[in-house]
Amino acid sequence: MNKVFSTILYIYSLILVNQMAFALEYKLPEDNSRLIGEITKHTVVKGEFFQQLAQRYNVGLLALMEANPGVDPLLPKEGTELVIPTQMILPYGKHEGIVINLSELRLYYFDNAKQTVNVFPVGIGKIGNATPKLISEITEKRTNPNWFPTVDKRKEHFATHGVELPRMVKAGPNNPLGDYAMRIGRSTYLIHGTNQRFGIGMRASSGCIRMNPEDIEWLFKQADSGTKVKIIDQPIKMTYLTPSQRMIEIHSPLSLSEDDKPSLYPLSSGVKSFIGDNPKDLEALDKIIKQPKGLPVKF
């Protein structure tokens, strides 16, 4: 996940994408499975590139790259058929309020009255400023929020740019929080918008959850104060379609440092129970783990 960061920075320096994305809303499964959506296919047209397509389909840039290994994200060959990751397995746990799964860089908003779930790509904390796992709720909502950068953030900004950040940045085009912000519990962590497209579907924030402007606007209107928020880290998600048909979805685990090479081994007891001890199944699982695509596959 870290190796592609410099490439992604270059993508954003090339062009600002202004296409409006569409929200991904799914009906919750009526059976006992947790599989939602269908895979979308896209044939590359001359001049298209991954950031443009990620914005169009409202998926994360890293998710799109992971689903299409070997394809140049800057110059995908015209006529190439891409897989758009619009099918997924819901995370394990209670499906209510807001659930953010760090490994897949996605936010889920469950509307149990409508029996729907909306799914959005998000930016999360970069290495050294990791977004914590937690169970909490929305305690504060602000439109046009002011930004109060932390001491560490001001030091980092000065070291990088040679310019001091003010103690408060007023709402406006220079405010990285965008037009909407929601506080998680009593912490300093926010779910907020952005004044640029950079960092959505990536590890690029100082720990907050960053969303596309149109996505946070929608979520802000739906999620009241008191809405439950759960931040989890589930790189492996599983479900049964039938008693004899299984599906598994695997994402790259998060690095803890620049030199960290995280592994999904040893497997959790839940994964072991799901897979069983058949050598062929274990071999198939190992192949997926070695090159995860972040897509549900039959198992």
Number of folded domains in the chain?
A: 2
207: DSSP letter: S
Provide the pLDDT for residue 22.
57
As a whole number, the mean pLDDT across the chain is 90
Quote the pLDDT of residue 13: 40
The residue from 95, 157, 208, 251 that is catalytic is 208
Q: What is the DSSP string of 16-74?
A: ---PPP--EEEEPPSSS--EEE--EEEEPPTT--HHHHHHHHT--HHHHHHHSTTS-SS
- Is residue 74 one of the residues assigned to a domain? no
Q: What percent of the chain has pLDDT over 70?
A: 92
State which of 232, 255, 286 marks the end of a domain.
232
pTM as predicted: 0.90
Q: To 10 degrees, the CA torsion angle through 154, 157, 163, 168?
A: -40
User: From CA 44, how far away is CA 27, in angstroms rounded?
Assistant: 29
Question: 256 and 150, same structural domain?
Answer: no
Asked whether residue 158 falls in the same domain as residue 92, the answer is yes
Residues 109 and 210 in one domain: yes
Same domain, 289 and 209: no
Q: State the distance between the two ends of the chain, measured CA to CA, in whole angstroms.
A: 25
Distance CA(33)–CA(36), nearest Å, equals: 9
Token pair 């891409």: residue = 82
| Active-site annotation holds for 157 | no
Q: Is 251 a catalytic residue?
A: no
One domain for residues 29 and 170: yes
At residue 10 the predicted structure's pLDDT band, cuts being 50, 70 and 90, is very low
Asked if 221 and 183 count as a contact pair (C-beta separation under 8 A), the reply is no
Same-domain pairing of 227 and 253: no
Q: 94 is written with which tokens? A: 């209670």
Is 8 a member of any domain? no
Which is catalytic among the residues 42, 161, 192, 251?
Answer: 192
Domain that holds residue 167: 24-38+86-232
